[in-house]
A and B are shown apart, each in its own frame.
Chain A
């Protein structure tokens, strides 16, 4: 399946050659340096309607943490250097070019001339300096702040002239210019007062008046109706043109409808109320494919989501009940975790949960991210015999219970019973847990599946730590190890099996910490790959997370949408929103 994605990415990479050279489109003033992008030329006008699963929390890129907010913000904001979601490579954005010093410590970026915010206010270097001052200010609590702190020291930003800015790093940064992706350049003229008053976090709420909010993205705020829809309109000052030199974006409007349930989204799309659909489950995807009329359904290939099972390995101290301590003594045994991993039928998960539209996983790097996957990791097939052998080595044994079933007991003769919590709103993961339950029954373990509301699940895993095992998934936002830092570092909040440790609990966790920090500052990609390969090796050996499967990115769009090229990175269908267009003027009349 993943070949499709790769082939697709490669073709797009060839087509989408970016001209960072200066170009002067006819409609633009002579001073504007616009970016000309390749691709099918479209038709101006029209709008698209797309559903969001939840209401965005904010339009403020500083504090946006949830997926829907990020999706909306990505259409309204722009960054200095951008990662092309299809090729997964960097390309010039607000900065037309950049230079990295030989020691990897100094990045010199040159800004495009004549850029304007969506309210017509010109962008100057003060905005860039203001932006990074704000992101780095601890009082602001920007969600991505940690990524600007390298080796304990914040990046320093210095203006050279009106178009040139220098970023000085304490240590070389492994990702190179990729680090500039996702830092939306903020409008100083609108936000400085709020910043000085310490109210920056309150700015950009959804109720903000359209003329009080601006960005450098393809669209700007038009209207927001609470609980119903968010409407964006074309930014007339956008800095990209198509091959013919006409200014992008093509569309006049994007309407985001708030449709909380996945099934309701499918119905809306099927009835033609929405033009595009993304984050589809495999089963709904096949329902839509079967009945496809005026829309096309696309399997964009494996994404970056990895699903896994993990056990509670927290240090619970003496307050923990004796039963929990006993369970943890099983979970801590590596052979126990390896046995569980060996017993899980991953192929069945791919077939029954994803209807074949996904890939079995033995590590956190999905086939959607081939560059970072460690090819040496063994893809061990299901083997109950090996599992039983591992369990026997770890001191477990099988006895026959009174009802004729065989049951697994530990060295003290206590039956092995535990529960797996999973999110009730995620049907895929609930199904995975039910399959695992049956797989482990073959080993004589009694497992119960407990669906919980997502918030209380997260609370149990990260705060109260009252759980035995959990099935969860993580989606990286970039095909790089760095977004995963707080998953693998032992002091990370997403180090799910034992989060936010003061000191690494085990030697191998300490080694992962060391490797992840080394790769952060290694400048050479091959070197970073080697370090990250070792991290994957340790994970596969110690099995703190038992990786299960990764779903394909499944999307759909009406046939009338032009330039629809879904990517496996978020935002899957809107990453090239400026190039999307309505082919035949069949714009959606309904809201």
Chain B
């Protein structure tokens, strides 16, 4: 498989994963904040195709779970009645991509169905993982976008104009590299009002992780701009009277494209992880809004750690995303030869 088709495949897989999360409301059977107090810490339900008598069912079915009498977290299946999974059923209202209101869900059943189990409040983990992905991935994507735009502007400016401007910008970048951003967030949190609504908290997290990380990409961009502006074709263009802005737009910034893309593929999972860290520590989006980080926060308790293995599942959710992004980053790095310099000199 050529690099190009591998790249396409990787992008397609990532796009499919993101689409799944973007349409969380459709794939998730329930509202992520809905509590089912009769089913706390319900283990993942098994889907069956073969019933007790050995009969094969084309439509998968499951058995209802109920708390064993006298217990508060041990369940038993009621095997007397097979409940078929129903597809495309109407349920809790949601909005696709935050606009289109819908009620249709991919699947559901007569009785609650928890494919990934439920948490301590009886909330469906599958729904929470999907909706939590919206928060965590969006934080990663917007954060990376913000970081790269700031990094690109500052790096290009510093590299292109050089001199004292370069010096000043790079010293500021070093200052930002040295900032302990977790403590910065603690400090920012202290200045905010006591209760921050979920949306505000989310934007705050994105701003902090986005605004603090620009220094590294800025330095990389600056390096490329420094070398690119001395290239012959740039000098030639300057000789023909091209303005600074034109040179940057047409000749210099395109040189940085592969670095910026590779950086993006590396930064997105990094920032998703940053959001997870903050939410894990209780500084991210507040309950009951799910994010992968605050879902894992319950694992800080010893009893959850040893009793309910399905509470680890949100940690697995990020694996395909992270692998996707890392493969993308390495493919992009391998295909740097597509830049203009590469075409001229046969790869750098």
Contacts and interface: CB of A to CB of B under 8 A. Distances in A.
A367 to B, nearest CB: 19
Given A351-B37, A356-B72, A287 B195 contact: no
Please tell me the size bucket of the interface on A. Answer: 20 to 34
B112 interface: no
Given A287-B306, A419-B195, A449 B286 contact: yes
Contacts of A130: none
Contacts of B303: 266, 281, 283-284, 286-287
A20 interface: no
B302 A437 contact: no
Contacts, number: 71
Contacts of B40: 351-352
B156 to A, nearest CB: 42
Contacts of A348: 37
A287 B302 contact: yes
Interface string A434-454: 110110000000001111000
Interface string B274-305: 00000000100011100000000000011110
Contacts of B196: 448
Nearest to B304: A283
Interface in A279-300: 281, 283-284, 286-287
B43 to A, nearest CB: 15
A424 B301 CA distance: 13
B2 interface: no
B263 interface: no
Interface in A335-361: 345, 348, 351-352, 355-356
Interface string A399-433: 00001100000000000001101001001000100
Max chain B C-beta neighbours (<10 A), residue from A356, A424, A427, A431:
A427
Please tell me the size bucket of the interface on B. Answer: 20 to 34
A93 to B, nearest CB: 39
B347 interface: no
B342 interface: no
Contacts of B307: 283, 286-287
B304 to A, nearest CB: 8
A263 interface: yes
Contacts of A468: 195
A424 B302 contact: no
Nearest to A345: B37
B258 interface: no
A223 interface: no
A267 interface: yes
A56 to B, nearest CB: 24
A451 B281 CA distance: 11
A449 B289 CA distance: 11
Chain B interface main SS type: loop
Contacts of B306: 287
Interface in B98-132: 101, 120-122
B302 A419 contact: no
Contacts of A434: 121, 287-288
Nearest to B35: A438
A466 interface: yes
A448 B121 contact: no
Nearest to A284: B303
B337 to A, nearest CB: 50
Contact of A448 (B73, B120, B195): B195
Contacts of A431: 120-121
Nearest to A439: B35
Contacts of B33: 438
A467 interface: yes
Nearest to B123: A438
Contact of B194 (A262, A263, A421): A421
A150 to B, nearest CB: 41
B42 to A, nearest CB: 12
A435 B35 contact: yes
Given A287-B303, A435-B121, A451-B282, A352 B37 contact: yes
Max chain A C-beta neighbours (<10 A), residue from B95, B101, B282, B303:
B303
A403 B307 CA distance: 38
Max chain A C-beta neighbours (<10 A), residue from B40, B95, B287:
B287
A424 B297 CA distance: 12
Contacts of A424: 282
B334 interface: no
Interface string B299-337: 001111011000000000000000000000000000000
Nearest to B40: A352
Interface string B29-41: 0000101010010
Contact of A449 (B93, B101, B122, B287): B287
A466 B193 CA distance: 10
Contacts of B55: none
Contacts of A262: 302
B52 interface: no
B122 to A, nearest CB: 8
A419 B121 CA distance: 20
Contact of B302 (A266, A438, A448): A266
B197 interface: yes
B121 to A, nearest CB: 7
Contacts of B195: 418-419, 448, 450, 468
B302 A284 contact: yes
A434 B297 CA distance: 14
A348 B286 CA distance: 22
A438 B36 CA distance: 11
Contacts of B302: 262-263, 266-267, 284, 287
Contacts of B288: 434, 437-438
Contacts of A435: 35, 37, 121
Given A287-B307, A438-B35, A438-B288, A419 B194 contact: yes
Interface in B171-201: 194-197
Contact of B197 (A281, A404, A448): A448
A287 B301 CA distance: 11
A494 B57 CA distance: 64
A287 B95 CA distance: 40
Given A424-B282, A438-B121, 19 more contacts: A266-B303, A281-B303, A283-B303, A284-B302, A348-B37, A351-B40, A352-B37, A352-B72, A352-B121, A356-B72, A434-B121, A435-B121, A437-B287, A448-B195, A449-B287, A450-B195, A450-B286, A466-B194, A467-B194
12 contacts: A267-B302, A283-B303, A284-B302, A287-B302, A352-B40, A355-B73, A419-B195, A434-B121, A434-B287, A434-B288, A448-B197, A451-B282
Sorted from nearest, which 9 A-B pairs have the closest CB atoms?
A419-B195, A263-B302, A283-B303, A355-B72, A448-B195, A348-B37, A287-B303, A438-B35, A284-B303
Interface of A: 262-263, 266-267, 281, 283-284, 286-287, 345, 348, 351-352, 355-356, 403-404, 418-419, 421, 424, 427, 431, 434-435, 437-438, 448-451, 466-468
